[in-house]
Amino acid sequence: MSTLNDKIRIYLSDNGKIYKDENRNYELENDGSGDRLVSWNVSGLAEPTAEQLDALDSKADTDFANRIIGYTRKKSYGDIGDQLDLLYKDMLANKLDTTGEWAKKIKAIKDSNPKS
């Protein structure tokens, strides 16, 4: 499930601004009932209304799910050295196409963890 921060990140991106976690120009606060936006200082972009952020629910949920899938894929790919070893073996076997072991492994990971 997406968070208010996820929706703000998408709002920024949709309006040509780059989200940088270390240089946030806004502040969120949680009073126990959930996050709320308490300050906004993004140059050239108006603070989003609650309605604008609510309209991003679906997009933020999809983005959040895709980030989780990306993390899962990354873990499943394994060590880069092992991947390079598979590619090298495929090169020696003249299998730098979809029949190679590396390509089959990557395809299986992507197929079992599809993005939205």
**Domains of the chain: which residue ranges?**
1-71, 78-116
Contact 11, 53 (CB under 8 A): yes
pLDDT digits (tens, 9 = 90+) for 64-88: 999 999 999 999 999 999 999 999 9
Q: How far is CA 35 from the centre of its chain?
A: 21
What CATH fold (topology level) applies to the domain 1-71?
Phenylalanyl-tRNA Synthetase; Chain B, domain 1 (3.30.56)
Q: Say if residue 1's pLDDT is above 90.
A: no
**pLDDT over 70 percentage in the chain:** 97
